[in-house]
Amino acid sequence: MPQNPEKIQDHVELFHQPEYQQLFQNKKEFENGHDPEEVKRVAEWTKSWEYREKNFAREALTVNPAKGCQPLGAIFAAVGFEGTLPFVQGSQGCVAYFRTHLTRHYKEPFSGVSSSMTEDAAVFGGLQNMIDGLANSYQLYKPKMIAVCTTCMAEVIGDDLQAFIGNAKNAGSVPQDFPVPFAHTPSFVGSHITGYDNMMKGILSNLTAGKKKETSNGKINFIPGFDTYVGNNREIKRMCNLMGIDYTILADNSDYLDSPNTGEFDMYPGGTPLEEAADSINAKATVALQAHSTPKTRDYIAKEWKQEVTVSRPWGIKGTDEFLMKLSELTGKPIPEELEIERGRAVDAMTDSHAWVHGKRFAIYGDPDLVYSVVGFMLEMGAEPVHILVHNSNEEFAKELQELLDSSPNGKSATLWAGKDMWHMRSLMCLLSG
C-alpha cells in the first residue's frame, strides 16, 4: 500500500492510488456500481439550482457541520490552566476524537483522559468509573488540577458530576482540597463554543471560591474565548506589557498548543498559574475577546464577582482601536507611541493592498465571533461579503452581524445562513457566480 511512514499521502491523493482504484472497481461488482457517465451527470446536477432547493429543504440530516461538540471546547479551555489534565466522563472513543482533532490541528501532543464508560456504566451509571479514573489520573499523570466534562452517554443517563466528584474524593481518589472543577457538556446541544463557556465558568467558580478580598488587585482579566490562533494571546500580552498593564489571561493555552521543541517532553507546558486564576476574582475588570463563547462566564463574573465586564474584539483597525482605548480607559494608562506607529504601518499595508481586495466578493463560514471580526476587517478593506454561514448562530449574533453589514455600503448584498452546514455552503458556492 502507498500509505507508509516514508510516503504519507493526503486522503484525497491516497484514494487515487492504483490499489484503492482497484478496490473501488471490485466493490462495484457487488454494490450495483453506477455507470461513470451517470455519476458525472449526477455530480453536475448537484451544482444546479434545482438541487440547491432540495439541499436547503432537508431537515433531518446534517452533512459536515461547521462546528464541533461541547467537550471539544471544554478541554480546549481546560489546558489553558497550569498543570491541568482534561478528564472526560464518557467512553474512550469520544475523547480519542477530541485529542486527535486538536493534536492534528496543532501538531502538538494533546493530553486528555476518559473514564472509559462502557455498556455496564450506561446501565448502572458511571460513578465507579469516576472513582477509578480520578485515582489513576492523579497517580499516573501528577496534574495540579483535573477538569471534568461529560459526553452524550453520561448526560443521557444523568450522571451527577458534583456528587460523583464528592464521592470520589471521599473514596480517596484525590485529596479533598485537590481542585476538580467540572462542567456538564452534552454534545447534543450547543457546540464547542458552548462547551468552552461552560468549562471556563466551572473552572473559575471552583478556583475562586472563598478568595474574594475587600480590595482589588488592580489587574485586568482577559478571556480569549475559543480562539484557535494562540498567537493572539501572546499579542495581547505584548500590548499590555507595552502599556504597563498588570493582567491575567483566563486561560492562556498559547504555550500548551505551541510549545518549544527543547528535546524534553513536558506534559503541561505553560498555562495560567492556578494562584493567579484564583485571584482573578479580585481584578479591576474583565475583558472578553469573544462574546458568543463567553456569555455564561461573563454573566457569572458580573453577578458574583461584581466586576465590570466588557467585550472587545481587537480585529482590524476599528476593533483594535476600540480595544486599546478601552484598556486606556480602564487603567488610566496612555497608549504608547510604539503601538501608534504599528497602527500607522497597518493602515499603510491596508492602503497598499486595497486595490487587490476592494470590490472582491467573498463567502465565509465559521464561529460567530471569528466571522464577525473577519467580516468587519474585510469591510474595512472594501470587500463585499455575499454568503456568511454560521452553523452555531443565534438571534443575538444575527442582529449584531446585520448592524455591522448595515454600517457599510459593501455589506448590502450579504446573507447570513444560520444553522446551515458545509453541504449547504457547497450549493451556495456552486451558484455564487450566478
Question: Would you put residue 284 in left (φ > 0), alpha (ψ -120 to 50) or beta?
Answer: alpha
Burial class of residue 423, CB neighbours in 10 A (0-12, 13-18, 19+): middle
Cβ atoms < 10 Å from Cβ of 400: 16
Could you tell me the CA-to-CA distances from 427 to 49, 289, 381, 390 in Å, in that order? 8, 33, 27, 15
Q: 414 is written with which cell numbers?
A: 450579504
Integer Cα distance of 127 and 406 in angstroms? 53
Integer Cα distance of 176 and 339 in angstroms? 47
Integer Cα distance of 258 and 231 in angstroms? 9
Catalytic annotation present for 311? no
Strand partners, 389: 365, 417
Integer Cα distance of 420 and 47 in angstroms? 17
Catalytic annotation present for 240? no
- Of 79, 95, 113, 152, the active-site residue reads 152
In our burial notation (b when 16+ CB lie closer than 10 A, e otherwise), range 90-122 reads bbeebbeebbebbeeebeeebbbbbbbbeeebe
Sequence-distant (6+) residues with CB within 8 A of 125 are 157, 158, 159
Burial class of residue 213, CB neighbours in 10 A (0-12, 13-18, 19+): exposed
Integer Cα distance of 158 and 72 in angstroms? 20
247-249 and 84-89 strand pairing: unpaired
Cis (ω within 30 of 0) for the bond into 251?
Answer: yes
What's the half-sphere exposure (Cβ side, CA atoms, 13 Å) at 148? 28
- Of 39, 42, 63, 156, the active-site residue reads 156
DSSP string, 369-392: HHHHHHHHHHHHTT-EEEEEEETT
Could you tell me the CA-to-CA distances from 234 to 84, 231, 249, 379, 410 in Å, in that order? 20, 5, 10, 26, 32
Integer Cα distance of 430 and 49 in angstroms? 9
Q: 173 is written with which cell numbers?
A: 481518589
Residue numbers annotated as active site: 152, 156
